[in-house]
Amino acid sequence: MHLEIAQLTKQFATAKGPITALENINLHVEQGEFICVVGASGCGKSTLLRLVAGLETPSSGSLSVDDLPITGPGADRGMVFQDYSLYPWMTVQKNVEFGLKLQGVEKKLRRKWASYYLDMVGLANSAQILPKQLSGGMKQRVAIARALTSQPKILLMDEPFGALDVQTKETMQQFMLDLWRRTGTSILMITHDVDEAIILAQRIYVLAANPGRVQAEIAIDLGQERPPEIKQTPEFLHYRETILKLLKAPAITTS
């Protein structure tokens, strides 16, 4: 899998003229990488992910997966949102099967794959209950299982743990690291949480705002095992200070 974003610019029309949300974005994700994009609110992080998902079209530049241009949503990209987006009237099992059902996968096979991924995210015993009976972290595990069931080439995550309390968020971060190691799935995740990005990512793209643009690309060399206690290490604190300084740098407004 190779995701390539080259010279990407996105403008939105307004009554006062076009507004540039993203300008000259260049980034890539390789097979099996866990990549995070961090930036302050309004820097275009969600717009960037929607472009990769095919939910928005670029004003200029290109996006491709394995050299095939992204022209709309596709099964090669799985999406996980912050608000879970589960259907409340469907059981957990039916929610996870839903994407496969839309693809026309026959019932027996979609049950098999849904059961496999529910087991992988630790929810095999919750298959027949409704989402309202789940905690926030469990709901997000269902959403992740649903995205993985279609076996996408890359998993796109839009601040998936932003609505969770601190303790649940830490639990979910460790869960994602474990799931990533076990599946080898390529992941592109956006977050405003610098600590979260350092815990999870192999590389971090730092976005500046007004307009959104890549300010820096930082390789994170902390190994694959990253327990919460790693936040107290000098290496982690160095990465944190470096990224926070970039985020606090004065915005450069372009006309």
221 sits in the region (left: phi over 0; alpha: psi -120 to 50; else beta) called beta
Rg over CA atoms, the chain? 18
Contact 156, 53 (CB under 8 A): yes
Q: How far apart are CA 20 and CA 87, in angstroms?
A: 34
In the CATH hierarchy, which fold is given to the domain comprising 75-188? Rossmann fold (3.40.50)
Q: How many CB atoms lie within 10 A of CB 235?
A: 13
| DSSP conformation class of 91 | -
Q: How far apart are CA 191 and CA 45, in angstroms?
A: 8
Sign of the torsion angle spanned by Cα atoms 86, 99, 176, 55 = negative
Q: How far apart are CA 184 and CA 147, in angstroms?
A: 14
Q: How far apart are CA 86 and CA 94, in angstroms?
A: 10
Say how many Å lie between the first and final Cα of the chain, rounded.
36
Q: What is the mean pLDDT of the chain?
A: 92
Q: Count of alpha carbons within 13 Å of 12, Cβ hemisphere only? A: 9
pLDDT tens-digit series, residues 152-173: 999 999 999 988 888 999 999 9
Q: How far apart are CA 62 and CA 58, in angstroms?
A: 7
**109: buried, middle or exposed (CB in 10 Å: 19+, 13-18, 0-12)?**
exposed
Query: Dihedrals φ, ψ of 201, to 5°?
Result: -90, 155
**To the nearest whole percent, how much of the chain has pLDDT over 70?**
98
The model's pTM is 0.93
Contact 194, 242 (CB under 8 A): no
Please, where in the chain does CATH 3.40.50.300 lie? 75-188
- Among 27-36, 78-87, 234-243, where is mean pLDDT lowest? 78-87
- CB-based contacts of 15: which residues, under 8 Å, 6+ apart? none
pLDDT for position 138 = 93
Q: Tokens at residue 5, please?
A: 């974003």
pLDDT for position 172 = 93
- Is 90 exceeded by the pLDDT of residue 248? no
